[in-house]
Amino acid sequence: MHNITIDQVLNAKFDVSEDSPIIKPFGLAPVIADPSLLTPNESHDGKWHLFCHTTFGVYHFVSDDGIDFKKVGKVLNRAMRPNINRIDGRYYLFYERTRTLIFNGLNAINLAKWKSEIYVVESTDLISWTKPKRVIANTKDYEISERGTSISNPFLINIDGKNRLYYSCGLTYIDDCKFCEPTYVTYAESDKITEGYTSIDTPIIAPDKKDPYLNLCSGCLKVYQLADGYLGVQNGLYEKDGNSHSAIFLLTSLDGKSFEFKKVIVEPKVVCGKDWMKQFVYASHLVKDGDLLRLYFNARDTAHALKGRECIGFAEAKLN
């Protein structure tokens, strides 16, 4: 997206597609979330490839049009919030590696603390993957909360030859959901893709009680280098009228470190008579397809931990 400007994106109007949701929960998992994609011009086979997670790990889907996705299979256990990249013909799949399902279950009932770190696996064909390798572990005090340590939502970009891995950290308990969401957004940098990352000393985004879209916690951030600066796509968690919500909004930056809020592009609501995104719209991935921008995201219908379901859909905008 280096050939488009910040104003082009800010002036684009994103509409949630009537085809959404395009991927729904399957099996015993009530959640399918955090899509990360390769467009046809990024993949070796000219197809769309989507990676996401359920309760049971990270899964791979494939499509000819970016709408009708077929499940390829599970890629990883103990994994969530993936980020797929193709660099010099090789694929790098970063993800949040959790403890086992047993520990995660104990955490849900407050009998064990959460612990997660960022790992990576590599591939040349999206079929065979290398052994998982730890990339970022807890090194900063702000990453620790009373409920445990969470290093999550990795997103890689390369800036002037240096690799910058944005990630979320910390845990904020959301009362009506009965689970935690990320407190802060930060980043680490390295000269190498899969090792040597050093995290910065202070988060770049923190919750703000005065901010209508960020008064609970920071969710996650995806950053894109455009022709004239950096675009941030964030989902913030906020309280409104006694209930928690999440919306997706745009930020801009000159250096990819200090961001300024610009506009909300997707808010929770009933769309085309469907309530799949009625209360939360979460993590997203922005891609360009010709003169269209597609924002893939997951959404949740209701806060209730046992009743809520999360699906994946997309919003689309035409570039002028």
Using CB atoms within 10 Å of the CB of residue 187, give its burial: 0 to 12 exposed, 13 to 18 middle, 19+ buried: buried
Q: Which of 49-58, 100-109, 144-153 has the lowest mean pLDDT?
A: 100-109
Q: What are φ and ψ of residue 164, in 5° steps? A: -120, 120
Return the domain boundaries, the chain: 6-318
Tens digit of pLDDT for each residue in 274-320? 999 999 999 999 999 999 999 999 999 999 888 999 999 999 999 98
State the Cα–Cα distance between residues 49 and 34, nearest whole angstrom: 13
pLDDT band of 225, cuts 50, 70, 90: very high
> Which superfamily, per CATH, for 6-318?
Glycosyl hydrolase domain; family 43 (2.115.10.20)
pTM here is 0.97
Peptide bond into 21 cis (omega under 30): yes
**pLDDT, average across residues 183-201:** 98
